[in-house]
Amino acid sequence: MTVETYQASCHCGAIRYEVDLDLSAGTSRCNCSMCNKLRKWGAIVKPDAFRLLGGGPEDTGTYQFGTFSGTYHFCKHCAVHAYGTGELEVLGGKYYSINIACLDVDHAVLAAAPVQYMDGLNNDWFNVPKITSHM
């Protein structure tokens, strides 16, 4: 396990944050209705591993759906979904959802990160969906 501090940003740079993350511990792709639209590539961290450096309410829009347990934070200028926040017992309480694609790192670092596929579409988050090639 190697926890490193990564810088992350939306496309235009209005939203910036840093996150303490162990990429070797795995990342996730989910097929729920929202992740499917975004082709989201994520990782979950505890709130103390996340530090927002830029992107106040003037720059950041939010979106919720379904159970309203999570909030998507996206840039009002460039439309990139930079991170999410929420609270779910199954995830250990309060969490931040990192958009792995927003990490400002060499693509080789991203390519080395293991991916776990989650069947959010069927509320079966900890199992792999039947089809993953499109995720």
128 binds Zn ion (CB under 5 A): no
Q: Total residues contacting Zn ion (rule CB under 5 A)?
A: 6
- For the bound state, the minimum distance from the C-beta of residue 74 to Zn ion, rounded and expressed in Å, comes to 8
Using CB under 5 A as the binding rule, the residues of this chain from 8 to 27 that contact Zn ion are: 10, 12, 14
Nearest to 120 by CA among 100, 92, 90: 90
Among the listed ranges 6-14, 24-32, 96-104, 112-120, the one in contact with Zn ion (CB under 5 A) is 6-14
Q: Please give the sequence-ordered ranges of beta strands (E in DSSP) within 35-130, or none if there are none.
A: 41-45, 50-54, 60-63, 70-75, 81-88, 93-99, 115-118
Length of the chain: 135
- Give residues in contact with Zn ion (CB under 5 A): 10, 12, 14, 75, 77-78
